Amino acid sequence: MKTFSVLFVCTGNICRSPTADGVLRHKVIESSLAACVTVDSAGTMDYHVGEPPDDRSQAHARRRGYDISALRARQVQSADFDRFDLIVAMDDSHLHALQRQCPTGQKQKLKRFTAFCQKYKSQDVPDPYYGGAQGFEHVLDLVEDGCDGLLASIKEQI
């Protein structure tokens, strides 16, 4: 079985991308694929480097059985384009930022997260940071759906 690595990217790496990181890690473990699938997350900006995910993201994730408390924010690095098989942007602004930073020969690795959603139709995973509890729940709904589709895609490739 081949190995496969995924990097989720949002703005500050404290809400959407760590949520996706935690959900996919959980699903990978449940699928007995932890030995061959690695997951990480990063931000396009350095606003929160070294900080844990937003307390609200942690609380909502925990209620659904995902522990993201050990994750720490980091910024996307140039080495990430070599290191990861797939780099997943949570919205259009992240995808555009990644496209500008990505070496020409690696652009096929960049995908929009919602391309993996099967139940929900949305262009982007909206930023819940300035909203209420509903926003964090909606992010989790989209992320669980997208991670199911992503995991199915990964299984076809390994």
Catalytic residues: 10, 16, 127
Question: Could you tell me the sign of the dihedral formed by the alpha carbons of 92, 147, 15, 80, in that order?
Answer: negative
- φ/ψ bin of 50: left (φ > 0), alpha (ψ from -120 to 50), beta (otherwise): left
How far is 58 from 61, CA to CA, in rounded Å? 5
How far is 84 from 37, CA to CA, in rounded Å? 11
Burial code (b: 16+ CB inside 10 Å, e: under 16) for 28-57 equals beeeebeeebbbbbbbbbeebeeebbbebb
Please state the separation of Cα 53 from the chain's center in Å: 13
